[in-house]
Structure 1
Amino acid sequence: MNELPDCFYCRKDQRLHDLMIEIAPLRVSTLYLFKEQTYRGRCVLAARQHVNEWFELPEAELALFAQDIARAARAIKAATGAAKINYGAYSDKLPHLHVHLVPKYPNGPTWGSTFTMMPDPKVLLGAAEYAELSAKISRALAL
């Protein structure tokens, strides 16, 4: 039996739950709502397989991962009314392939430039707001 790496995306432990809320599994990834919501609707899409680089995915999974990104971004945009979705794939400190999907709005934070990875102060929502936003994105995934 293979031991899971010490990665919160693989272990789905408290470290993950402290930062994000699972919205839905997609074909080869899982979509999460990021708890920090300076950018309303910000999500993270994490590959289900533990790899760090895009090129480490088998070719068929790479294509499906790209489709998952497009599907998630379309759903986030539909659910939030965002003008643009920004994408960030870094994983310097967390070696697991994941993409930040960040809705941007004219006259909103950092419009016209790169989104701030860890804004200060943080914008956190109440449980009902997280549930409502997650549900809107989940419904839009089904379209």
Structure 2
Amino acid sequence: MIKICDLEVSQVFLFKEQSHLGRCNVVYKDHAVEFHELSDTQRNAFMKDVARVAKAIANAYNPTKINYGAYADTISHLHMHIVPKYKDGYGFGGVFEMNPQKVMLSDAEYTDVINKIKNGL
């Protein structure tokens, strides 16, 4: 992943694998494993960061739908996958693959994606 920026209670990373253009991961800054470990204030601040990133992706790329995933069987740190899905695009209508290794970008393309997302934040 490539770090995009810090937000109020999280860090935002761009996945290098971009089968879903704009796919990011929002990672809670403090140590937590489960949502239920957070206070209402902490949880609300984290979800505000998640929504903020999703809105930036939506504005930059106009996906048909944004999927959210909090998968972490082997990673002991709270994070949320933000996966933009595009009609007629890879995996539309199904559960996204974690790392299909289908689309890698050039350095210039990664920079462009990061800048578009940052500009929306």
Identity %: 46
Q: 2:80 matched to 1:103?
A: no
- Deviation, 1:129, is 0.4
Q: 2:95 matched to 1:114?
A: yes
Q: 2:59 matched to 1:89?
A: no
- Deviation, 1:80, is 1.3
Q: Which position in structure 2 is the counterpart of 1:133? A: 113
Structure 1, residues 100-125: CA drift from partner, whole Å, max 9, x if none? 10010000011111111121x43111
Structure 2: runs of 5+ lacking an equivalent: none
Query: What SS does the aligned partner of 1:23 have?
Result: strand
Q: Which position in structure 2 is the counterpart of 1:55? A: 36
Q: 2:8 matched to 1:23?
A: no
**Given residue 2 of structure 2, which amino acid in structure 1 is its aligned partner?**
I
Q: What CA distance in whole angstroms lies between the structure 2 residues aligned with 1:104 and 1:29?
A: 23
Q: 2:46 matched to 1:65?
A: yes
Superposition CA RMSD, Å = 0.9
Question: Which of 13, 20, 24 in structure 2 is aligned with 1:39?
Answer: 20
Q: What CA distance in whole angstroms lies between the structure 2 residues aligned with 1:105 and 1:58?
A: 34
Structure 1: runs of 5+ lacking an equivalent: 1-19
Q: What CA distance in whole angstroms lies between the structure 2 residues aligned with 1:95 and 1:70?
A: 22
Query: What SS does the aligned partner of 2:96 have?
Result: coil
| TM-score, scaled relative to structure 1 | 0.82
Q: What CA distance in whole angstroms lies between the structure 2 residues aligned with 1:37 and 1:69?
A: 19
**Given residue 135 of structure 1, which amino acid in structure 2 is its aligned partner?**
N
Q: Which position in structure 2 is the counterpart of 1:124? A: 104
Query: What SS does the aligned partner of 2:19 have?
Result: coil
Q: What CA distance in whole angstroms lies between the structure 2 residues aligned with 1:62 and 1:134?
A: 25
Question: Whose relative contact order is higher, 1 or 2, with alpha carbons under 8 Å and at least 6 apart?
Answer: 2
Runs of 4+ in 1 over 3 A off after TM superposition: none
Structure 1, residues 19-58: CA drift from partner, whole Å, max 9, x if none? x111111111011111110111100000001111011122
